[in-house]
Structure 1
Amino acid sequence: MTSESENLVCVFCASSDSPNAVYNDAADTLGRELAQAGYGLVYGGGGHGLMGRVARGVFDNNGSVLGIIPHSLTKFEGSIEIGRTILVDSMHERKQLMSQHAMAFIALPGGFGTLEELLERYD
């Protein structure tokens, strides 16, 4: 259920950089390519790691970025905001809003959180 004015793609991935530069480059490229193709991003918020790379790639290429992050995670992410940020009370609310705004989903390398988000059922 995306906004009529936005075609947002949800990207799940790590909140840290990869030791393998290929994955870092892929995150940079994905962000740039999404924006250049006319798509925006909805993601887990913050500005670190692969998540931050994708968000900056979209934002730096004039794409729309919507980060959704629980209050409890802001202490780990700091005050880095790329585009618009919505603060929510829980991970459940975060995933629900991400699903509501996304027209498609992509996963890049990550950890247990990325896997859990990828396996969630999105109707």
Structure 2
Amino acid sequence: MKKDLPENIVEDIAIAVALENESPESKLWYVYVINLKNHPIENVLITSKGYGSKDGEQVKTSTLRHMIPLLQENSFALIEPIDEQTFGLTNEYWLSYYIGRDIYDKKFIFLPESIIESNFIKLPLLNKPGVMIK
């Protein structure tokens, strides 16, 4: 039964969209997972997808899956590049990982038009501008 399962709360883990490089013609964006914990996490699985409406039509991106065997404490790992054209969609990242034998999971959702300069912060550990959900 669901009530018998432990409530493993995800803390000190973030998903961030970082501005990597900017030129007059284009901007280069990457998505990262950031481990702000003081211990590593293992078997990190991330699925990503985008969905919503664009020009009055429903749009869905491909679902991508990523695996990171080990993410050390106070470190980060690249998940994927992200195209600026998807910023008008809902961008969803479902994260699962283990600490010992316990599994943790959480859904991180970047709402449409939330990846904008007015929401930028200096991303911890990355020291780059971007948007982060913790």
Q: TM-score range by the shorter chain?
A: under 0.3
Instruction: Report which of the two structures shows the higher radius of gyration computed on alpha carbons.
Output: 2
Q: Which has the higher contact order (CA 8 A, sep 6+)?
A: 1
> Between Structure 1 and Structure 2, which shows a larger proportion of helix residues?
1
Q: State TM-score, norm by structure 2.
A: 0.24
Q: State TM-score, norm by structure 1.
A: 0.26
